[in-house]
């Protein structure tokens, strides 16, 4: 029997096409990209070997430092925001709204499926200050605050990016964590309540510890996405003003496709890949340790 389920020809036929496409389009280019880091040039002008010059440049490039720290700050803040607010929503769905939560869940989830470009353009208008004020500044003006040129300065533009990316993804984390809360056995919560646990201690000693696995899974999923942020900053701020909201992904894009330096672009992409790898490994390590406890 095993021989039929182990038929090499059938395995090759079923697995072959997917493995071939995956290897040629994703795995080979990674190694090719590694090779490109020792060159400078582009597809039109040809390539020239330049040793480790790209790596020296990477270490000393202030733009890379800025982009690195923007990426790190963005990833940490948005990941925390997504998981914390998502958890808040999930608790609301599961313990407060109960059966009626489906309507709110469906509504709050909607921005998740919308194209980032459309949302970014909408946010440009919501936070606009010229030629006339957008909705946010109108609100501020009505409560007596001077309207702010949100997208005109790095600090405030960063805030708008953060708000937008949390707004458009929180419904997703709400549902994700909610599905984890459903796994908490009702009788445990119920018996704790009968034993006199009030809301806060019930949450602190029963619900929170039991939601850690799903919170952890959300954290992994979130950081894997936020560290590669591209669409939302590209469409919302274009990396500006200046280069104040430029993550590594966008700096790589500009280096390769606007300044036509494929070698240096690959070097920046390598840094980004190593960051993703490290985050994955650290999280993986951490999750294994937790399981052995």
Partner 1 sequence: MTTMTQTATPHSVRRHRHDSIGDKALRTVRRLPALLTIAFLILITGYPLVWMVINSLKSNSDFLNNPSWALPETWAWENYATAWEVGNLATTITNSVIVTFPSLLLIVVLGTAAGFALEVMVWKGRGGVLLTFLSGIMIPGQIIVLPLFIVFFNLGINGSLLPLIVIYTAGGLPLTVFMMATYFRAIPREIFEAATIDGASILKSFVLIGFPMVRNAVITVAIVQFFLIWNDLLFALIFAGQRRLNTIQVGLLNFSGEYGAINYGPLFAAICITVGGILVLYLFLNQRIIKGLAAGAVKG
Of 66-125, binders to partner 1 (CB under 8 A) are 89, 92, 94, 96-99, 102, 104-118, 121-122, 124-125
Between 110 and 205, CB nearer to partner 1: 110
Between 1 and 59, CB nearer to partner 1: 1
Q: In terms of Cα–Cα distance, which of 284, 253, 216, 225 is closest to 71?
A: 225
- Gap between the Cα atoms of 280 and 183, Å rounded: 25
Between 29 and 209, CB nearer to partner 1: 29
Which residue(s) pair with 41 in the sheet? 47
CA-based angle 31:50:43, to the nearest 5?
60
- Stretch binding partner 1 (CB under 8 A), from 50-58, 72-80, 201-209, 229-237: 229-237
148-167 residues in contact with partner 1 (CB under 8 A) are 167
- CA distances in angstroms from 222 to 20, 110, 169, 173, listed in the order given: 29, 18, 10, 9
Told to check if 7 binds partner 1 by CB under 8 A, we report yes
Residue 68 beta carbon to partner 1: minimum distance, rounded to whole angstroms? 14
Told to check if 24 binds partner 1 by CB under 8 A, we report yes
- Stretch binding partner 1 (CB under 8 A), from 25-33, 56-64, 149-157, 285-293: 25-33
CA-based angle 137:141:145, to the nearest 5?
100
- Stretch binding partner 1 (CB under 8 A), from 59-67, 73-81, 133-141, 152-160: 133-141
H/E run at residue 141? helix 135-142
Q: How many CA atoms lie within 13 A of 271 on its CB side?
A: 24
- CA distances in angstroms from 217 to 92, 131, 151, 190, 289, listed in the order given: 19, 44, 33, 26, 14
Beta strands per DSSP E along 32-127: 39-42, 46-49
Told to check if 226 binds partner 1 by CB under 8 A, we report no
Residue 85 beta carbon to partner 1: minimum distance, rounded to whole angstroms? 11
177-216 residues in contact with partner 1 (CB under 8 A) are 179, 182, 186, 189-190
- Stretch binding partner 1 (CB under 8 A), from 60-68, 144-152, 200-208, 254-262: 254-262
CB count in 10 Å sphere of residue 239: 20
Beta strands per DSSP E along 24-144: 39-42, 46-49
Beta strands per DSSP E along the chain: 39-42, 46-49
Q: How many CA atoms lie within 13 A of 81 on its CB side?
A: 19
Length of the chain: 293
Residue 77 beta carbon to partner 1: minimum distance, rounded to whole angstroms? 19
Between 97 and 148, CB nearer to partner 1: 97
Site mask for partner 1 (CB under 8 A), range 261-290, x = bound: -x--xx-xxx-xx--xx--x----------
The correct pick among 14, 208, 212, 282 for binding partner 1 (CB under 8 A) is 14
Residue 92 beta carbon to partner 1: minimum distance, rounded to whole angstroms? 6
Told to check if 17 binds partner 1 by CB under 8 A, we report yes
Told to check if 143 binds partner 1 by CB under 8 A, we report no
């Amino acid at each position: 029997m095993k021989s039929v389920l182990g038929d090499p020809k059938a395995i090759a036929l079923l697995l072959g096409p997917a493995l071939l496409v995956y290897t040629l389009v994703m795995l080979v280019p990674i190694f090719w990209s590694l090779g490109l880091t020792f060159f400078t040039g582009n597809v039109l002008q040809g390539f020239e070997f330049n040793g480790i010059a790209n790596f020296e440049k990477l270490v000393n490039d202030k733009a890379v430092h800025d982009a690195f720290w923007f990426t790190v700050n963005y990833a940490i803040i948005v990941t925390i925001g997504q998981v914390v607010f998502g958890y808040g929503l999930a608790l609301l769905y599961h313990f407060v709204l109960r059966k009626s939560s489906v309507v709110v869940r469906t509504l709050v989830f909607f921005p998740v499926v919308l194209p980032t470009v459309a949302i970014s353009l909408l946010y440009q208008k919501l936070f606009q200050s010229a030629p006339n004020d957008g909705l946010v500044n109108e609100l501020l003006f009505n409560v007596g605050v001077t309207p702010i040129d949100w997208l005109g300065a790095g600090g405030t533009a960063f805030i708008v990016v953060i708000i937008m990316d949390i707004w458009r993804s929180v419904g997703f984390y709400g549902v994700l964590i909610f599905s984890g809360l459903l796994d908490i056995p009702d009788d445990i919560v119920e018996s704790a309540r009968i034993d006199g646990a009030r809301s806060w201690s019930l949450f602190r000693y029963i619900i929170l510890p039991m939601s850690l696995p799903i919170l952890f899974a959300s954290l992994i999923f979130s950081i894997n996405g936020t560290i590669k942020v591209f669409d939302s900053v590209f469409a919302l701020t274009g990396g500006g003003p200046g280069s104040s909201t430029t993550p590594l992904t966008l700096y790589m894009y500009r280096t390769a496709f606007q300044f036509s330096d494929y070698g240096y672009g690959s070097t920046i992409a390598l840094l980004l890949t190593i960051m993703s790898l490290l985050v994955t490994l650290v999280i993986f390590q951490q999750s294994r340790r937790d399981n052995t406890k």
